[in-house]
């Protein structure tokens, strides 16, 4: 980027003020006095009055309404990978996963620091899903799903009971479930353990970020407030 832009991006001063510093012979690149219009590369050392400055990286945070058939992987050789689907010019990666057969809200970012904040289980961050199944839901199903279902955990290589969760019946064959746990294909396996098959599964919320009116296949940048909320360790209800 141009030198004045680089200095401004560091938060040191405005671009106009940076130009004044350069004209005043107060800026050096790699030990040599810089000129107006000089461009700065990733390995260049920039100093103002002998003090080194670095440009702050502006990270990218994206909400995508993932369609079915798209795989949440950065492996570009995988057909239908999420990176090629979005085709963003910057290097980004998904925060967590959403099954290929599922749809709905998935977050992507260039900021590695936010990943643990969102995914760390002890932070109890909620994720909400709308699920339809192949037969009518009864009271026993609601109660068992909400209290926890014993399923096999392939990571730990043993059976374990899922954590209690919230469940709301929407219709005879559809419910909304809110989890603070993120086991692989958890909802599908919970349903299967109770004799049900998932017909469709759509994630509608991650923490305080909602899918809203974002259409299938569309994405948007997160607002500043949404980004700020990703870095809290407090339990959020998102309602």
Confidence band, pLDDT 50/70/90 cuts, at residue 203: very high
**pLDDT tens-digit series, residues 223-237:** 989 998 887 654 444
Exposed, middle or buried by CB within 10 Å (0-12, 13-18, 19+), for 143?
exposed
99 is catalytic: yes
Instruction: Check 99, 101, 111, 139 and give the catalytic one.
Output: 99
| CA distance linking residue 10 with residue 5, whole number of Å | 9
Whether the pLDDT of residue 209 is over 60: the answer is yes
Six-digit token pair at 152? 């096999």
* Reported pTM: 0.75
Select the more confidently predicted residue: 99 or 1: 99
Greatest mean pLDDT among 4-8, 40-44, 55-59, 128-132 lies in 128-132
Out of 21-25, 60-64, 157-161, 230-234, which region has the weakest mean confidence (pLDDT)?
230-234
Q: Which of 20, 114, 24 is nearest to 62 (CA)?
A: 114
- The total number of residues shown for the chain amounts to 239
CA distance to 5, 19, 146, 174, 228, per residue, from 11 (Å): 10, 14, 49, 51, 19
The SS3 assignment for 211 reads coil
Two structure tokens written together for 1: 């980027």
Ordered by where they begin, the domains of the chain are 3-53 (3.10.290.10), 58-121+212-234 (3.30.70.580), 126-206 (3.30.70.1560)
Confidence grade of residue 41 (pLDDT, cut at 50, 70, 90): confident
Cα separation, 30 vs 202, in Å, equals 52
């Amino acid at each position: 980027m141009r030198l004045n832009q680089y200095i401004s991006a560091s938060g040191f001063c405005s671009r106009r003020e940076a130009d004044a510093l350069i004209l005043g012979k107060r800026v050096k690149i790699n030990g040599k006095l810089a000129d107006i219009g000089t461009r700065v590369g990733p390995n260049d050392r920039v100093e103002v009055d002998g003090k080194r400055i670095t440009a702050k990286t502006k990270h990218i945070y994206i909400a995508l309404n993932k369609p079915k058939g798209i795989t949440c992987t950065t492996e570009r050789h995988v057909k239908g990978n999420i990176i090629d689907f979005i085709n963003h010019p910057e290097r980004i990666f998904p925060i967590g996963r959403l099954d290929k057969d599922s749809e709905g809200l998935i977050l992507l970012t260039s900021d590695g620091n936010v990943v643990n904040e969102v995914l760390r289980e002890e932070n109890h961050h909620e994720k909400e899903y709308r699920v339809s199944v192949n037969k009518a839901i009864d009271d026993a199903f609601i109660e068992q799903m909400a209290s926890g279902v014993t399923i096999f955990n392939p990571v730990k290589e043993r059976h374990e009971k899922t954590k209690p969760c919230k469940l709301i019946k929407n219709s005879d064959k559809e419910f909304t479930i809110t989890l603070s746990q993120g086991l692989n294909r958890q909802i599908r396996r919970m349903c299967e353990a109770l004799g049900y098959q998932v017909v469709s599964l759509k994630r509608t919320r991650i923490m305080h970020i909602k899918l809203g009116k974002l259409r299938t296949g569309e994405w948007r940048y997160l607002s500043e407030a949404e980004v700020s909320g990703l870095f809290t360790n407090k339990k959020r209800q998102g309602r």
